[in-house]
Amino acid sequence: MKNSLVALLLALLSSLPSLAQNNTQTVTGTVIDKASERPLANVSVSVVGLRIGGTTDSLGRFVLPTVPIGRHHVSFTYIGYKTVTIPEVLVTSGKQVVLDVPLDQQIAALNAVTVTAGRTRKGMASNEFAGSSARSFSMEDVTRYAGGRNDPAKLASNFAGVANTDDSRNDIVVRGNSPTAVLWRMEGIPIPNPNHFSTLGTTGGPVSALNTNALKNSDFYTGAFPAEYGNATGAVFDIGLRTGNKDKFEKTIQLNMFSGLEGMLEGPLGKKGNGSSFLVGYRYSFAQIGQSLGFDIGTEAVPKYQDLIFHLNFAKGKLGKFSLFGMGGISSIDMIGADLDSTDLFANKDEDAYFKSRIGVIGLKHTLDLGRNSYLRTLVSYSYVSNEGSIYKYYDSLSQRQFLTDQSTVNTGLRFSSFVNSKINARFTVRGGLLAELQGLDTYLQTREDRPDWETIRDYDGSAWLLQPYVQGKYRFTDKLSLNAGLHGIWYGFNETSAIEPRASLSYALASNQTLTVSYGLHHQQQPLPVYLYQERLPNGTYDQRNRDLGFTRAHHYVLGYDWAFARDWRVKLEAYHQSISNAPVERTPSGFSVLNSGADFTFPEKAGLVNSGTGRNTGIELTLEKFFSRGYYLLTTASIFDAKYKGSDGIERNSTFNNKAVVNVLAGKEWKMGRDGRNAFTIDIKATQSGGRYYTPVDIERSNSSGFEQIDETKYNSLQFSDYLRLDTRFGIRLNSAKRKLSHTFYLDIQNVTNRENAFMQRYNRVMKQVGVVNQVGFFPDILYRLQF
């Protein structure tokens, strides 16, 4: 695979463009009606402040061929529709800019085009049915902020209500919920955990397998989401893949410490101008490359990973429009105890551990027009996830290491999604459909850790259906007042569990720049599969498998939001929320245990015989002050104050593991033009984060020393809290645009944890040292990125 990447990079470099005639670039794209997704013809497209413009054709496409290098506002105006202006569009010499823009039809039709009535379209969710607690993010957003590691989940941690205080993973905590409450979707259909080194039931991992260079504007929801989203109680990542360039072949070469060495190719499929395109990208672990070249990368436990992503789009024909998409990744790591740092509490010198994982997703999407304002969209996908792990332990009394733990899991998913979307008129749009998932699982886990003999913890080979029908509608009473409402159903065949969920969101424009939104949603979610399938051996030799009877966890979401665009490119957003959680799995006998506290690690608690009688509540208020990038700088300040509590089967209310209490982020960046004609730029970005520490349960040192394995003190669940998490990141960047070639370079140095603060990561019992210590997060760490586009 590594030789294939080298060959691809050499092929890309050999195709460097010849000398160009001028220092401009093409801006192209498509304009559609947001509700019906029909192309809009004769839309006026213009670059604000320049005499550059054009109109869309019958397919909604536009081309502006001679836009100068730099940042520009691009405006879209059309009679009867709200004018939209996209600010600070970055135009480089190395890659054409593609803008896909949806326009909202006005209730009161305009008699003339009014350019001054435009609104800035930045951060608005692309889904027509989005209400409160929703925003979009772009590929540029993912790579803009300091400390982002080229990872969409790290980007989301900058938003209000979101916390990520684990430098080693990208799990996100949304409004005090466990990371397992997050739903990932790609191109409109659920996908498994899109991370390298992922394990069963989790939603995060150490390294993202999502290639950010393949992403288009995507939506992120933190509560009371629309009725089409289900099987999630915390948040939704709705990832979209961009299409490749339909008119020109383009290449990207990139190197990043975390995402690795990358080659990407895109361009037209078949004849140029027919509307079909392809995009394919491949990445290879930077650490693995460094080790193979003989460099000291700081550890003998080298993480090895690589991934592939692709998106094929075919022009619309008589049978409709088709696209084929997918991603895949492999990862592995060997942690040999003898090679690890003996002073590291996180390492066990008497233990060897091996882990490898695989992920693959492929999907086919079909869109068929029905009449003038309706369409049928159908998706079929298949996913495959596997991981294997084994642990060996050394004993002084034995000459050879002893096999301690063995696990193997294959998780498959065959998914079918189909819905009809119909724009009845300018006021009313309705969508209804069905998502059907056949979830297959073959999993086995056997261990003798802290046991006298081997015990089978998990042993299952089977499949079950998860069905989710839904219907939702949006009615606009006036241009100021609109209602989104719907119903979502969920049925899980594994144990015949079902639920009906109402959703609603009412939005009112107090003024042209102020909006008030009230939202409610009832949400249910499956338990993590390791919880369902954990079994405990009883004295008579049988197993307690009652976890398989667990029902859904349930959450009521209430959200009140206020959005005020108080000045050009500025906005303030305030949201207050309350989440009432019930049916959380807890122990049958009185204790402080709850599944609500799990999911931010590679494993889940080993508890059998659980029941759905636990509760929780998350209440908070969030503030976002944002200046979108303009006049050479941006600012994003988010603050969240919240309280996340839960009750176990003992009825005592405790702090949730994820009750950080307060999270504050301040991000800012400045860009200076460089060069005689200002085509180049120097950038500085900073990010400061402060968060309350996580609550945790202390280790029982006496029991741990006696057993030789970590034992927590279950009489003191979440009774202690780590100190506050503080971190400062700074990034310096240079962007160079060739004056003679269609080629651009981007370089940045991202200095993470500038002050080298020792933030607590976790407490850990080390059986070799027979002591408990605090393992700290990542210290001072420099990250680099270099990108070449042509």
For residue 768, the model assigns a pLDDT of: 73
pLDDT tens digits for 646-698?
999 999 999 999 999 999 999 999 999 998 888 999 999 999 999 999 999 99
Mean pLDDT of the chain: 90
- pLDDT band with cut points at 50, 70 and 90 for residue 341: low
Tell me the C-alpha distance between 28 and 413, whole Å: 37
Q: Which H/E stretch holds residue 14? A: helix 2-14
User: Tokens for 127?
Assistant: 């889904």
Cβ-Cβ contacts under 8 Å for 756 (sequence gap 6 or more): 779, 780
Q: Which of 202-216, 571-585, 604-618, 756-770 has the lowest mean pLDDT?
A: 756-770
Residue 394 pLDDT class (50, 70, 90 cuts): confident
Whether the model clears a pTM of 0.95, i.e. scores above it, the answer is no
- Specify the range with the lowest mean pLDDT, choosing from 56-70, 446-460, 712-726: 446-460
Going from the C-alpha of 380 to that of each of 167, 322, 471, the distances in angstroms are 35, 11, 20
pLDDT at residue 296 tops 70? no
Which tokens is 435 given? 């998502």
Average pLDDT score over residue span 288-300: 72
From the list 85, 79, 90, the residue with the least C-alpha distance to 43 is 79
Average pLDDT over residues 757-771: 84
Token pair of 132, please? 């409160």
| Per-residue model confidence (pLDDT) at position 272 | 73
Query: DSSP characters for 692-737?
Result: PPPEEPPB-HHHHHHHTS--B-TTSTT-EEPPPEEEEEEEEEEEEE
Q: If you average pLDDT over residues 556-579, what whole number do you get?
A: 96
Confidence of residue 354 (pLDDT cuts 50, 70, 90): very high
Higher-pLDDT residue of 151 and 18 is: 151
- Return the structure tokens found at 404: 């301690």
State the pLDDT at residue 160.
Answer: 95
Residue 236's pLDDT is what? 97
- Cα dist from 411 to 195, 310, 565, whole Å: 14, 22, 46
Q: What is the pLDDT of residues 246-291, one digit of tens each?
A: 999 999 999 998 889 999 999 999 877 788 999 999 999 988 887 7
Distance separating alpha carbons of residues 424 and 711, to the nearest angstrom: 61
Query: Positive or negative CA dihedral for 288, 289, 294, 296?
Result: negative
Q: What is the pLDDT of residue 21?
A: 47
Is residue 411's pLDDT more than 50? yes
59-83 pLDDT, tens digit per residue, is 999 999 999 999 999 999 999 999 9
What pLDDT sits at residue 301?
A: 78
| CA dist., res. 638 & res. 629, Å (int) | 16
Confidence at residue 399, expressed as pLDDT on a 0 to 100 scale = 77
744: buried, middle or exposed (CB in 10 Å: 19+, 13-18, 0-12)? Answer: buried
pLDDT score, position 238: 96
Distances (CA, A) of 255 to 179, 353, 673: 29, 29, 24
What pLDDT was estimated at residue 193?
95
Tell me, what's the pLDDT at 275? Answer: 86
Cα-based distances in Å from 783 to 168, 295, 494, 635: 14, 16, 45, 22
Summarize pLDDT for 92-127 with one digit per residue, the tens. Answer: 999 999 999 999 999 875 444 443 345 555 678 889
Per residue in 609-639, pLDDT (tens digit) is 999 999 999 999 999 999 988 889 999 999 9
| pLDDT for the residue numbered 709 | 80
pLDDT in tens, 485-498: 999 999 999 999 99
Please give the C-alpha separations between residue 53 and each of 83, 94, 446, in angstroms, as whole numbers: 15, 21, 66
Q: What percent of the chain is predicted at pLDDT more than 90? A: 73
Per-residue pLDDT tens over the stretch 418-453: 999 999 999 999 999 999 999 999 999 999 887 888
* Alpha-carbon gap, residue 250 to 16, rounded angstroms: 10
